[in-house]
Amino acid sequence: MAQTCSHLDQVDEEATPSSTGCEDCLRIGARWVHLRMCLSCGHVGCCDSSPNKHATAHFHSVGHPLVQSYEPGEDWVWCYEDELAFVLDGVPTHSHP
């Protein structure tokens, strides 16, 4: 496991949430547990505790390695490639309503 994230160049500070819920679950009528927002494109997907694990599926599909919690009061980031959680200063935080 890496000590530092080597993918910070893939953060788009202007990325905005694509949805107020997991956009893939909403499309198929499924439920989720917690939400994550892709820091490259803004895709909102559900966490790995959710039945469909859409945030991880998005990473495997398009290769965007960084997600930020989309939960109120949380600002941590996860890098799928480096398997590392951290707080990233200077990046706007978002949360679902």
> Per residue in 40-96, pLDDT tens?
999 999 999 999 999 999 999 999 999 999 999 999 999 999 999 999 888 888 999
State how far the Cα of 31 lies from the Cα of 64, in Å rounded to an integer. Answer: 23
Domains of the chain with CATH codes: 12-86 (3.30.40.10)
SS3 42: coil
Q: What is the pTM of this model?
A: 0.94
Of the pLDDT bands very low, low, confident and very high (cuts 50, 70, 90), residue 4 is confident
Contact at 8 Å (CB) between 37 and 44? yes
